[in-house]
Structure 1
Amino acid sequence: METYDLIIVGAGPAGSTLAKALEGSGKCALLIDKHAFPRDKTCAGWVTPSVIETLDINLADYGNGRTLQPIRRFRIGMMGQTAVENDHGSVVSYGIRRCEFDDYLLKRTTTPKQLGTPVKTITRKEGNWVVNDTWSAPLIVGAGGHFCPVARLVGNGPGSHETVVAAKEIEFEMTHEQAKACEARGDTPELWFCKDLKGYAWVFRKGNYLNVGLGREDNHKLTDHLQDFVEAMKTKGKVPADLPSRFKGHAYLLYDHAGRALLDDGLLLIGDAAGLAYTQSGEGIRPAVESALLAADVILQAPDFSATSLQAYADAIAERFGHRGSVTEDGFQVPGWVKMPLAATLMRSHWFTRKVITEKWFLHQDVPALAANS
């Protein structure tokens, strides 16, 4: 039996950020992930300057041999309407491929790793968590996304108002012919909101790579909405007529509606495992990174790993992201006050699509970057 101070299940941005933050602290951690890296990861794939700052990523270094698409504009509309395009005048985000981004972050940490290793069992023994009857630690951290095996240990809170978003998307490298015919511009992602406001779709070009997808809160209608959207984009020339058909699915919880507990005795959840995706955009990368840093601070300062000592983490999450339960509507991306026909009018407004949807909901420009030593 190998013993550590903590075991981190999931080596994506949340897990690797936590591992990196704990280096040199005297805490001995183990990173476990069911995949070998680099691995395919379903995600639209863009990161804001605040994430770049928090992670201290050198853009010149990262862009050497990896996809790094500067974003200066957004086209936003409601399906069936004409989109509004806003030029932000500078780079406001970066397109990345998650297979490259996650591998880059993971390689920056010297923490011991067990990759390509599915977690089959997690048991409690003499105050420690034992994983696969092989590794033991008094603290286990779930960083493995919505279906993380550590998250299953805490379940969902009683009477929780869950909104599980289901999404399907595809990312592929276009052929020369496809790239030449594709009218989508790399520096201008397109966001298209569903008419019922229960989700949105996107077309995002990153060099010769194209990412197309749609996320909604009602999974049973997801495929129909996606097919309609893809056909509309083909007609507009935004996606190739011979677009691959093998879309991949994933799911996540929206922060304001998630009822999943963040901690228990000897247990913490970070990132999508904790249900931290931003409610209006569904973005999970920034909350994943920031929750990992907040968790690292608590782990280093806590006198023990009891739920009482770890409560400081839940307090820090609430202070950073707001208190859960403050939203009472069922709405997915768009708050309940944005109703039809008002929404149709707002989606035609340059001010609303830029100041509210893009800068506030998707880029969170009003929230300063979280310092890595906060």
Structure 2
Amino acid sequence: MLSRAKTYTTSGCFALPSFVAVINEYDVVIVGAGPAGSACALALRHSGLRVALVDKAQFPRDKICGDAIPSPTLKHLARLDPGYATELSALLTSRRAPTTHSRLLAPNGEELRIAWHNPAFNIPRLHFDEALLTLVRRHTATDVLEDYALRSLQTDEHGVTLAPSDSTKPPLRAALVIGCDGANSIVARSLAPRASLDRAYHCAVVRAYYTGVTDAPEDTSDFYFLREYQAGYCWVFPVGGGVYNVGFGVLSEEVVARRLNLKHELSELLTTHPHLAPRFAEAKALTSITGFGLPLGGSTRPAHGPRIMLCGDAAGLIDPLQGHGIDKAVHSGILAATQAMACFQTQRFDAEYLANYARQIEQRIGQELAQRYRLMRFLAGKTWLVNMVVGAARWPWLRRRLLRAVG
């Protein structure tokens, strides 16, 4: 794909190495080519703007995640263009595991099986994110710049300069930057460089892939709620081909308070838990156990600043109750694209004008996540209450209310 970026010779206003001859100039630079960034690029398809989508990795690349793709994800893409959801499904047909049911195991061992009416599936992010990026390549004129890690962002009254970690690559210049670069977002750090981690709104998680798991239907995602931990759960998610994404997550404040080693905790669960151990007696680990962090929704994490918007995990848009965020990432990427087009129509890129985006995020995503955070905190540490909810949900009318509460 030919670049549509403008280029110009560096001048004294940029502190760049002397051998860098040009800066690539765009209207919009989207940082991060995961679900939020790809959705944003797709939403800008007909905008007429010069758009670059940059990522520090070379695709396909793994992304540590639970690999659950909630049903609203495809709905958001279909609202952009019905063909997107259809084409994405075709790209993933041979690799995904459609999930029609979930099993919830209460701390007392009681099990609840739930049938989901809306289509959802599990698939390794290695494949899902690559398929979304394929749609961007096929349907947009976006310049996709892989293996482009950022060192810093510098905002001034005329735009944003993005300096690469590799000094042999040209910097980028944009009127607007959209940060879709995940939980450790360099774009978010440029807005709040001294912000400390709020462990009450952060979840520590570990994950590995296994095969040979027994009593594991390929259409069913399993959630284990454990009496030993205040808030969190263990999961066993089929991802197709007899492979299972197995993980465990706990609020970071509990990890620090109890000095938990989550890799060790997951290994212990799979060998000693009365319901998990029999299922993993003959299982084989395909990968090592790897950790990652999730900034949970409901916090006061900023979503915008002068000439900058944040989407997905970078904006802390992860469901505190279930721990997933791909649907929220896609939704926020689309909302950011809408705001970006309004910015160029009005030629306004100031924080006051971009607050319109933050309000949209709050109304359409943030309020729901805040409610789920309060519910998660209410249930935390109340083993008896979780047992009661799972048991009572066998009654149809309570089951319907539970489904509405957890989405």
Do these two structures clear the TM 0.5 threshold for a shared fold by scoring above it? yes
1:69 paired to 2:77: no
Match of 1:8 in 2: 30
Deviates more, 1:48-57 or 1:106-115: 48-57
TM-score scaled to structure 1, two decimals?
A: 0.85
Report how far residue 47 of structure 1 moved: 1.9
Match of 1:101 in 2: 128
CA RMSD of aligned residues (A): 2.8
Instruction: Give the letter for the 2:185 counterpart.
Output: C
Q: Distance in 2 between matches of 1:140 and 1:235?
A: 48
Q: Distance in 2 between matches of 1:119 and 1:339?
A: 44
1:182 paired to 2:219: no
1:183·1:239 contact (CA, 8 Å) conserved in 2?
no
SS for the counterpart of 2:224 is strand
What whole-Å deviation, never above 9, does each CA across 1:298-335 have from its counterpart, x for those lacking one?
11113211111111101101111244995698x78453
Match of 1:81 in 2: 109
Q: Distance in 2 between matches of 1:100 and 1:73?
A: 22
1:280·1:334 contact (CA, 8 Å) conserved in 2?
no
Of 169, 191, 211, the match for 1:154 = 191
Structure with bigger gyration radius: 2
Match of 1:270 in 2: 311
SS for the counterpart of 2:249 is strand
Match of 1:360 in 2: 405
1:167·1:216 contact (CA, 8 Å) conserved in 2?
yes
Of 287, 292, 299, the match for 1:250 = 292
Report how far residue 357 of structure 1 moved: 5.0
SS for the counterpart of 1:5 is strand
1:282·1:333 contact (CA, 8 Å) conserved in 2?
no
Match of 1:136 in 2: 173
Q: Can you give the 5+ residue segments of structure 2 that lack an aligned partner in the other structure?
A: 1-22, 79-84, 164-169
Give the 3 Å change call, closer, same or farther, for CA 116–326 of structure 1 in structure 2: closer
Instruction: Give the letter for the 1:166 counterpart.
Output: A
Report how far residue 293 of structure 1 moved: 1.0
Instruction: Give the letter for the 2:357 counterpart.
Output: Y
Give the 3 Å change call, closer, same or farther, for CA 118–139 of structure 1 in structure 2: same
Of 131, 148, 164, the match for 1:117 = 148
Give the 3 Å change call, closer, same or farther, for CA 214–354 of structure 1 in structure 2: farther
Give the 3 Å change call, closer, same or farther, for CA 272–328 of structure 1 in structure 2: closer
1:299 paired to 2:333: no
Q: Can you give the 5+ residue segments of structure 1 that lack an aligned partner in the other structure?
A: 365-374
Matched ranges for 1:229-248 at <5 A = 229-231=269-271, 232=273, 235-238=277-280, 240-244=282-286, 246-248=288-290
Identical pairs, percent: 26
Q: Distance in 2 between matches of 1:359 and 1:93?
A: 16
What whole-Å deviation, never above 9, does each CA across 1:77-113 have from its counterpart, x for those lacking one?
234523222334x554212221111111111113101
Q: Distance in 1 between matches of 2:195 and 2:185?
A: 16
1:311 paired to 2:355: yes
1:71·1:91 contact (CA, 8 Å) conserved in 2?
no
Match of 2:390 in 1: 347
| Structure holding more helix per residue | 2
